[in-house]
A and B are shown apart, each in its own frame.
Chain A
Amino acid sequence: MNGLEARDIQMRFAGLVALDGVTLEAPRGRVTGLIGPNGAGKTTMFNVCGGFLRPTQGRVFIDSDDVTTSSPTDRARRGVGRTFQRLELFRSLTVRENIALAAEGQLISDGPLAQLGITRNSRAARVANREITEKLIDDVGLTGLADRRAGELSTGHGRLVELARTLANRPTVVLLDEPSSGLDPVESARFGAILRRLMDENDLALLLVEHDMNLVLSLCQWIYVIDFGRPIFEGTPDDIRRSPEVQAAYLGKAVA
């Protein structure tokens, strides 16, 4: 399968079972959601997919290659990009520099000379790199802010810089960790719209871990729900809305 696949993941921490038999597929060309109540194991699952945690059992595949034991850096090299729940920007660089830094990473090796800007890369490659940077700035609607320092931006714009920077690295699999946290509903909807457009243009596998249900339900084509570390439901947004299991998981049995 092209994209990310996690099969039958189990994760134990000193006696506590955080994940138990969770399977998810995030194929290319689809936005896949992962939701669940607080403490359900979403973050643990996210970290297993990104390589920050090694599962006790189960396997993780990227484009059908087993990457269960490979490090986050290794997975990044295989094309896994991610964003952070607590916004991680290069605050002292401009928006353009933030994105260019990631775009360059693809074209030039990081040898000592390359870091000083001396490369054997063709002029064409450098031009392409610049074009990609400019196109992404445009795509996320930050043209007017391109020369501002990232540290001066609002959280809403910051999320977009982070998204563009992740995409500039040309990943095949993108993991988004609660991208709407810190955004107001308007910003959140805008973020969703931009993300949807970018998905149409790029052949990406996108996994979204998110608590803003509006964003998840409007963006994802397939959603996995976990609770107590176990899969309890999967389906389309409509299925989720109607599912009594999901309601019970979120609110407890009696009220639902």
Chain B
Amino acid sequence: MLEVRNLHAGYQNLEVLHRVDLKVPSGRTVALLGANGAGKTTLLNVIAGLVPAAAGDILVDGRSVVSEPAHLRARGGICLVPEGRGIFRHLTVRKNIAMFLSGRNLGAALERVGRWFPRLTERLEQVAGTMSGGEQQMLAVCRALLVDAPIVMADELSVGLAPVVVDEIFDAVEMLRAEGRSLLIVEQYADRVLRVADYVYILHKGAIEFVGEPAQLADGSLFHRYLGGSADVPQSETAGGRR
């Protein structure tokens, strides 16, 4: 289980996250939604240890990891698939996979990758950055599948990908779910992630605006939460008219 308590974080003299509380129960999937700039990516980066927390705590199965550097959190069971393809773009696919495993049993891993994404095994010697966006994202998701981190976070898996490819990527998310991992997923396209999520958090301007279950958003209030951070349908304002 992943738990974030009273978290504040930011960059230099700019606080991005204000008192964020969040829980991902074991084996459950949490969707983290919100408009651009709400602080979703920052939140995942803070949990993964890429951005320091200014205050608050991060617990993995009750153990505080907030003072650990990123690589220890990764070894301790937190896996983040970051925004913009979490792969080593200048290394070959094979070397990427070797990096993901830190040297453990590459042969068996390649076989598993072949089962999930046959296209990747055809491209083992290709430099990862030269593959198509979809293939790069598959490789990034592979890491989550290959390492047995109980907590997996994914940031904007579908950005810039064609819908067919997004389906394939989300198949992998389903696999992770089926394996009983705890998932925290940030996604622009809410419909996809709401289908798999057990709980939804909405972040607005760095603070949690809504916590609930996907069904609670079925009334279409989600769009308006995005627009103004409030469930009320905004009154039409006077605009235009000049010139």
A residues with CB within 8 A of B: 14-16, 29-30, 37-39, 154-155, 178, 180-182, 184-185, 211-214, 217-218, 220-222, 228, 236-238, 241, 247, 250-256
Contact B191 A253 (CB under 8 A): yes
Among the 9-residue stretches B62-70, B116-124, B235-243, the one with 4 or more Cβ atoms under 8 Å from chain A is B235-243
* Interface CB pairs A-B, < 8 A, 30: A16-B133, A29-B242, A30-B242, A30-B243, A38-B159, A39-B156, A39-B160, A155-B13, A184-B205, A185-B205, A185-B229, A211-B36, A211-B37, A213-B226, A213-B227, A214-B228, A217-B234, A218-B239, A221-B239, A221-B242, A222-B240, A236-B240, A250-B188, A251-B191, A252-B191, A254-B191, A254-B194, A255-B190, A255-B218, A255-B222
| Residues of A close to B188: CB separation below 8 A | 37-39, 250
| Residues of A close to B130: CB separation below 8 A | 14
Nearest 7 pairs of A and B residues by beta carbon: A252-B191, A211-B36, A254-B191, A252-B189, A39-B159, A213-B227, A237-B239
- Assess whether B195 is interfacial by the CB under 8 Å rule: yes
| Residues of A close to B205: CB separation below 8 A | 184-185
Contact A217 B227 (CB under 8 A): yes
Contact B35 A213 (CB under 8 A): yes
Q: Of A222, A228, A250, A254, which is within 8 A of B223 by CB?
A: A250
Q: For the side of the interface on B, what is the size category?
A: 35 or more
Measured CA separation A18–B118 after assembly (Å): 27
Contact B217 A238 (CB under 8 A): no
**Contacts A237-B237, A254-B191, A254-B195 given: A15-B132 contact, CB under 8 Å?**
yes
| Residues of A close to B242: CB separation below 8 A | 29-30, 221
Measured CA separation A252–B192 after assembly (Å): 7
Q: Which of B61-97 contact A (CB under 8 A)?
A: none
| Residues of A close to B239: CB separation below 8 A | 217-218, 220-221, 236-238
Measured CA separation A16–B133 after assembly (Å): 8
6 further A-B contacts with Cβ under 8 Å, apart from A29-B243, A38-B156, A39-B188, are: A38-B36, A155-B14, A182-B16, A213-B228, A217-B234, A222-B240
SS class of chain A's interface: helix, strand, loop or mixed?
loop
Contact A247 B159 (CB under 8 A): no
Task: Select from chain B the residue with minimum beta-carbon distance to A37.
Answer: B188
Contact B14 A182 (CB under 8 A): yes
Measured CA separation A250–B37 after assembly (Å): 14
- Assess whether B107 is interfacial by the CB under 8 Å rule: no
- Assess whether B103 is interfacial by the CB under 8 Å rule: no
| Residues of B close to A16: CB separation below 8 A | 132-133, 160
| Residues of B close to A254: CB separation below 8 A | 191, 194-195
Q: How far is the CB of B234 from chain A (nearest CB, A)?
A: 7
| Residues of A close to B220: CB separation below 8 A | 255-256
| Residues of A close to B192: CB separation below 8 A | 252
Q: Of B191, B228, B229, which is within 8 A of A255 by CB?
A: B191
